[in-house]
């Protein structure tokens, strides 16, 4: 009985660490369908435009996702405090978008910062779609 309990714990742990970007996309898909019954899937092209869009912060300064994550997401980025950020493209950094909690934390922070609101599930899914297939 005790062994069975240990096995269950181990399997639960595996599930928590073995997520893939596809797992995250499934979650965002479910949310996007709830938000919009006419949801038609994620688009890498829309994700690209979102990534490259110039936004005006409340301070009036222009910025965008590319600002810290660089115009070429296979390259390491930089925070405004000059700390290195690992590449965003999954091809260059397979750890990207494998932890829903982490992705949610940073979407919340960066979307609030740049858009003044939370990103929608559609926007998050498009963003991941773009970076998951970027070569």
Residue closer to ligand HEC, measured from CB, 23 or 39: 23
Q: Smallest gap, in angstroms, from Cβ of residue 3 to ligand HEC?
A: 35
Q: Which is nearer to ligand HEC, 10 or 79 (CB)?
A: 79
Q: Find the shortest distance in angstroms from Cβ 63 to ligand HEC.
A: 6
Q: 44 near 130, Cβ under 8 Å?
A: yes
Cα–Cα distance list, 70 to 32, 74, 102 (Å): 27, 9, 20
Binding positions for ligand HEC, rule: CB under 6 A: 63, 65, 67-69, 79-80, 85-86, 96-97, 99, 102-103, 106-107, 110-111, 114, 127
In Å, how far are 29, 66, 120 from 92, measured between CA atoms?
A: 24, 16, 26
End-to-end CA distance of the chain: 48
Nearest approach, Cβ of residue 7 and ligand HEC (Å): 29
């Amino acid at each position: 009985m005790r062994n069975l309990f240990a096995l269950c714990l181990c399997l639960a742990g595996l599930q928590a660490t073995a997520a893939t970007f596809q797992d995250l996309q499934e979650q965002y898909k479910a949310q996007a369908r709830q938000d919009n019954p006419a949801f038609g899937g994620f688009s890498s092209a829309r994700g690209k435009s979102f990534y490259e869009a110039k936004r005006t912060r409340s301070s009036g300064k222009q910025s965008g996702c590319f600002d810290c994550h660089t115009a070429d997401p296979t390259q390491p980025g930089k925070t405004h405090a000059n700390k290195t950020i690992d590449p965003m493209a999954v091809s260059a950094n397979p750890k990207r978008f494998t932890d829903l909690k982490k992705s949610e934390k940073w979407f919340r922070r960066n979307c609030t910062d740049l858009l003044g609101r939370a990103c929608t599930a559609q926007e998050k899914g498009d963003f991941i779609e773009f970076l998951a297939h970027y070569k």
